[in-house]
Structure 1
Amino acid sequence: MLIEKIELQGFSLGSRPPILGHHGIRWATSGNQRIMHLGFDWDTTEINIMLSAKMSKPLSGTARIVINSIHVKGDLLLMPILDGKAILYSFLSAPEVRIGVAFGSGGSQSLPATELPGVSSWLVKLATDTLSKRMVEPHRQCLALPASDLQKKAVGGVLCITVLSARKICSSSKGSPSRRHKCSAIDSKEEDQLENKELQTFVEIELEELTRRTNVRTGYNPNWNSTFNMILHDNAGILRFHLYECTPGSVKYDYLTSCEIKMRYSPDDSTIFWAMGPDSTVIAERAELCGKETEMTVPFEGVNLGELTVKVVLKEWHFADGSHSLTSFNLSTQNSLDEASISLSKTGRKICVTVVEGKDLIVKDKIGKSGPYVKLYYGKASKRTKTVSYTSNPVWNRKFEFDEIGGGEYLKIKCHQEETFGDESVGSARVNLEGLIEGLKRDVNIPLEKVSSGELRLQIEAVRVQDFEGSKNSHASSGDGWIELVLIEARDLVAADLGGTSDPYVRVHYGDLKRSTKIMYKTLNPKWHQTLEFPDDGSPLELHVKDHNALLPTSNIGDCVVEYQMLPPNEMADKWIPLQGVKQGEIHIQITRKKPELEKKPSSGSELSPAKMHHQISDQVKQMMIKLQSLVDNDDLEGVSKSLSELESLHETQEDYMVQLEMEQALLLNKINEIGQEILNSSPSFSRRVTFP
């Protein structure tokens, strides 16, 4: 069928209701849940749905399609929840659907009133697919039963979601049935002892088009305790929670599993939350008032894949008349919201992403014109490629730029197929952008998730923006402090030696300064626990992990860049950074921008006191010692000699001010004695009782 575009011109379902339970009603029990089984039969000729279809080549013009009858027959399930205040309903299996279609003229350039081939079967398939996605088990709809004010219609709301923790989750690399059975059999004592150091996970929360993500946590039973504000644009919605695994050394996050919580506004201003429980049971909660916390533990989809505990608060509902329901919100939750809502700071670099091509995409041949395109999401920005005509191996070569954001923000990718009747997802992925090195372009192939085939080729690079205002201010204000870098450990490094191990050490480049850690022999998981310090001048900080060889040249086993410029003074950042240029490996570091206590600047024309000058000289000596150590490591004898002379000069200046400080101290004591003597002389009675030394 060659339809280019279709529009709805008229819609009426008539007044004939469906017949329920014509052959009887049967009650059943699943766990503690009562379920009503009854037949559903809706056969009507009063329906009138008018569609206008624009035809594509070789046909032309328009055709009018009229749906004048429909017959839907199936087995319906009704599940009362919350003491009968709401009902979940769904079909037990896909219902039988028949649709009657008539054709008519569509105007002066319309087709004759003849039947277009395939229209009726296409409409039946469309109706069946829609019902299967929304109302066939395990997909259920909710009907709130309390009496309602018909003038009050909820059109949106504000949610607060806290992802608390998960239990008994498994890695994608350890997802065999026996492994999952082992995960499910962990008892409470083993939970405290079992710690999977390799399993790092985070949760992505999705509500409509809005997504948020937690931090990365380690272990089978991670605790995130991350809180987010999200907006709902209807009186009902679905919260989806996607669990991802961070694979060391990989730019891609591995999708593990998902779960979801549905919600709906009830006309008595309460909110109903429900989800699928174990063994197809129902988990349902009701928040009587806005602002009430509802905690739910929901199993992940799949067999023995663990469970997720979340806390949901519907802060307020918005209504069509402009009013809203709002109650006081828990102060501690609000404080955590304020912390979670802090905007991510920009680093002063641009992330350039080129969507090169796709390979083996799932592109279905449907009605009308179609083709794949890609959407990129980074922070609050989104970009879109053009649509390529129908192909499973499209080539875009489209370059996009984003302002880099600190805090581990990742790139989200969604691949769609553009269709006449709505776009369809053909896969998605997440890309880790941590540790990009300026000037080094990464060419990566990203497999698409939740589909059987397909991957995207991307080229990613980081570019420093020289005139970035935030970067300038950060560098300019950092000249009176130093950088403290703690190189803790690395893991899953590449084996550079024939024996399957490496002798790793880290070469640190900070501007023109270079420092090295000690060498750890025959290991892929070295632990250095070594602290290095550099003067804070805003220079790029690069880490190069090397394999030491006694005779042969050293080999590189990974690089990364440490972003520190936007760190608050005297606050430590602890992070694992994936190594670039290799297939695997990541390094664990702690970094702090050390700054002395900020003091008020002296007024114009005034001089620093000896005490303040002494403090300033001490800081200069400390920075000079750091510089001297670096020069010694680099065998720069000329620089060492010059620095020693400067250091001696600083020591002499420091001694002069120490002498001046002692003189001022002596003068101050003499002045105190003089004042005390004057007090004694002016009060004879007091002088007889007290002798001033």
Structure 2
Amino acid sequence: MHVGFDWDTNDISIMLLAKLAKPMGTARIVINSLHIKGDLLIVPALDGKAILYSFVSTPEVRIGVAFGSGGSQSLPATELPGVSSWLVKILTETLVKTMVEPRRRCYSLPAVDLWKKAVGGVIHVTVVSASKISKSSLRGSRRQQNYSAHGSLEEHFDDKDLQTFVEVELEQLTRRTDVRSGSNPIWDSTFNMVLHEETGILRFHLYNCNPNSVKLDYLASCEIKMKYVADDSTMFWAVGPNSGVIAEHVEFCGEEVEMAVPFEGLNSGELTVKLVLKEWQFSNGLRSFNKFHVSSWQSMDGLSNTISRTGRKINVIVVEGKDLTTKERSGKCGPYVKLQYGKVFHRTRSAYAPNPIWNQKFEVDEIGGGEYLKIKCFSEEIFGDDNIGSAQVNMEGLVEGSIRDVWVPLENVNSGELRLQIEAVRADGCDGSKGSTAGSDNGWIELVLIEARDLVAADLRGTSDPYVRVQYGNLKKRTKVTYKTLNPQWNQTLDFPDDGSPLELHVKDHNALLPTSSIGNCVVEYQRLPTNQMSDKWIPLQGVKRGEIHIQITRKVPEVQKRPSLDSEASVIKSHEFSSQMREMVKKFQSLIEDRNLEGLSTALSEMEGLEDSQEDYMVQLETEQMLLLNKIKELGEEMFNSSTSMTRRPSVS
């Protein structure tokens, strides 16, 4: 590769001490500019671990010099003759001897995986304590003013009255400690924080709670910066005392560092925190955690089994939540979660608890280009649902065969986390894991919505106008509306292709003018039902106080696949029967031809056609049995292969 090289700089100062003939003595020669121009040849070496570089021909060199005096002697104002050209000659000869073709220089490249880009991480932040907090030195503090007996104004600073807490901020995520009193408060509050890039800034804001006011007094702030380093280590640094620098370097994830950071712009007061970078996540599917540099499931040939994102599915399980915010005075909470990935939206059912458990699974098509999974958590209220937090999860680097189990802290609120399990699978659903619930080939789901009972009343008159909206993956269908009843009957049959998608039923109250309102929902678990066997069940509705829905569901497969199997002995007997019948028919034809019995020949031909039809049916059945047997052998082989690969998978250490 040829590259043009043109380096021209005036930001240079090289001083040479020259010894001149008497009476001039010594003089200083200062090189203050340098210009090198030429064509570089760059050749990679050692499989990209180094490069060889050289000039194709002798480069053009110009040097600017200045002169000064040395000792007690002075130099003439004019340039000493030949000094600049002499320096140019020396530098040019040096370049020719060292880096002009065929002489080449070698530069070793750092061992950095250019495909492994850090796209996020998880850090635990513990706000330990603060020390030397004084009202007299903190901004925003209010002084207590009293008049003495002589009428003079006195100011009192009682640091024991301080009621402080710390707000931790990382991008859009904020968390607060409890309130502690005194000038040396101890909090020991730990928070789970999420990074969405390879760098981040942790900001710590100190506030004072004034008991006589609803407002908070802002006192001071400090910050700690962090950055991922290419060797899988992490750097933390902050501004120290007297504008110095406090820096910490950890080689592995999981190592704890403790930093005492002074509050900015103050003469006293510092904050002590502990930081643990739990893991880094990378765009190529690797993760760095604990004392292992990189962890990933490996394929049998030792390479990562991350495949192209095109055509993959992502399974997202919303498992549970904890410490969710409640905005009602009663403390009640009916949280549910909305997911958005690209243009696809999903929603969980409502669970009435501050630490809800959903365990709901959703499937989406993977989108390349670093698309985030956007999460919003809401609480059901009478006059409109409240937003109780949001978050986003980077979906890059998902590896087949490895489930990413994460607690995601909610942003824009003071507390709350959601637990998600995220897994990438092949588009055909054959992920090789146990308990796979992939749909049956060429099959369909037959859903009969029969009735519901004891529904909640959505209208003021104490009744509802219920109907059912069915969502199966990206398909949506609905039943007719049954008016003014809490025990509707629909008796409608809906069909869907059996591809293993989640089947959700949403019971709605129909309104002609106003928006429809929900009177319950449920998820139908059908994936493990035997084929061609109807299941009749009553399912309780979620998100409401009462109500059940009656359905019948069947996993249908084509009729050709449910023919009775032929055992080997019966098959042999059947084939012998056909052979003997054919031999008897041939003998009968010969006899009828010899007797010239035309009526008998006509009857025999009819019998022959019937025998041929039976034989054709039997051959079709044999072919079907052969196809089913081959499919069974294929499934068994895949199961054996998947079990063998799962036994050989181990986390890699580099």
Is this a same-fold pair by TM over 0.5? no
TM-score by length of 1: 0.27
Bigger radius of gyration: 2
